[in-house]
Chains A and B, each alone.
Chain A
């Protein structure tokens, strides 16, 4: 890991239209191997930060630097390659419903053109790691919420991304599954990936004891090394 795979937000402003400013002059740096939580009320701008990192949205102003990319300047044709550096996990899982668990995870390798031999070797390993090796041939609709999210995590980590972005990954899960997912994220962090976790789950934040960036109305109101879940100034 070198310094270039830091994530840097420089004076980022994002407005969707004249009347709503999602982010206002937001700056922060995320270092390699960091585990950062982003907290805030609904509408505070958490999801916008996630979308800016995955380049689903472009900032209205400011620069985003990640790896060798100036993300705000990426052209449409460069997006696929850029996104392969990032693993994404969402509240609604976003699995491909027409594909089996194995194929969902294999897809992330296939888009890179990796050979079938590697895929046949890696996918079962990852599924073993998330405890789903017995569900390889199941379709997403045959899985519970917790299982779906573990498939999503397996897909996010299969190509060893430098950063994993998780947007409310536990929003649809019961407490038991919530902790299973958080433990997996912590494991991934130990293996060397940056984890960016957007959540409003107070218990998780207070237990993790990692860096917390708190947003309110599109502005950073707190950025603490060992943060707690406090939404007010």
Chain B
């Protein structure tokens, strides 16, 4: 048993080395597959962050009448935060609104002067509401349009932003769906290309497999070295793809960051180093050894 196993491993390495060109070509294809899959993982991370960043920018504000009591506003804030759809309801008092406004316009002396001229704070207190899912703003807005609240609420910003929000929701949805479909299609293509490459490599060994059967080799003894070869392909392609991907990520990270400031690809890559590397290896090894297994199986029927 042990003898057979060590021979299988020996022949796996031997075939791998002796068929140098075939091995190189096969590794190149698996490398491309893994590279594409790695790219898809990163693409999905970037897309997710981008989508989240867009979603984060969507919010609605409720402005309160200038005579509305702060207690009532805080009570409403509490009840809003109690809603499962609401992620955050931030209270911005009239004073805070004014300081923020002044800070924003500090380079605009006319506006600052105009406010000082006015003598009183013209801004309204508001609640800035963020939902977990932008689709829920309509419901939240409906909740706020309740009769009992009409005495304190001046206006809800949803009405004026409704079109923009709905359009953003559609874009986000399309991006999510598109990402999934794209990932799926590219992954399938990559897997099929690899499978076919390995199948062709083993097709060239069709006669040898038949001869081994006739000499009395058991199926496992014939199959074993091909699977070892497949594992070697997977390991080498995985390491290679990772080794090339790492500097590439470092190179493109600043460009991605300029589009989506929330993401630091290099940090993400560094933080998930082991996870990404093991994905590559596990996927590479599984893909090539299963392909080998299936491909050899066809020729074992002698």
Contact = CB atoms under 8 A, between A and B. Distances in A.
Given A94-B207, A96-B208, A97-B208, A107 B19 contact: no
Contacts of B218: 80, 111
A164 interface: no
Interface in A107-131: 107-108, 110-113, 115-116
Interface stretch (A20-28, A37-45, A81-89): A81-89
B7 A110 contact: yes
A96 B222 CA distance: 12
A155 interface: yes
Contacts of B211: 94-96
B49 interface: no
B215 A98 contact: no
A79 interface: yes
A112 B217 CA distance: 8
Given A79-B213, A83-B216, A98-B19, A113 B208 contact: no
A111 B221 contact: yes
A56 B216 contact: no
B15 interface: yes
Given A56-B302, A95-B211, A98-B19, A115 B3 contact: yes
A155 B213 contact: no
A83 B215 contact: yes
Contacts of B3: 113, 115-116
Contacts of B7: 110
Looking at B208, B211, B212, B216, the one whose CB has the most chain A CB atoms below 10 A away is: B216
B104 interface: no
A115 B4 CA distance: 10
Contacts of B217: 80, 107, 111
B212 A96 contact: yes
A72 B215 CA distance: 19
A95 B302 CA distance: 16
A94 B216 contact: no
Contacts of A115: 3
A199 interface: no
B75 interface: no
Contact of A81 (B207, B213, B216): B216
B57 interface: no
B214 interface: yes
A128 to B, nearest CB: 21
Contacts of A79: 213
A170 interface: no
A54 interface: yes
B113 to A, nearest CB: 89
Given A96-B208, A97-B208, A98-B18, A108 B214 contact: no
A107 B205 CA distance: 16
A80 B214 CA distance: 8
With most chain A CB atoms within 10 A of its CB, the pick from B3, B7, B212, B214 is B214
Contacts of B208: 96-98
Nearest to B18: A98
Interface string B260-302: 0000000000000000000000000000000000000000001
Interface of A: 54, 56, 79-84, 88, 94-98, 107-108, 110-113, 115-116, 155
Given A54-B214, A80-B216, A110-B7, 18 more contacts: A80-B218, A81-B216, A83-B215, A83-B216, A88-B215, A94-B207, A94-B214, A95-B211, A96-B208, A98-B15, A98-B18, A98-B19, A98-B205, A107-B217, A110-B4, A111-B216, A111-B221, A155-B215
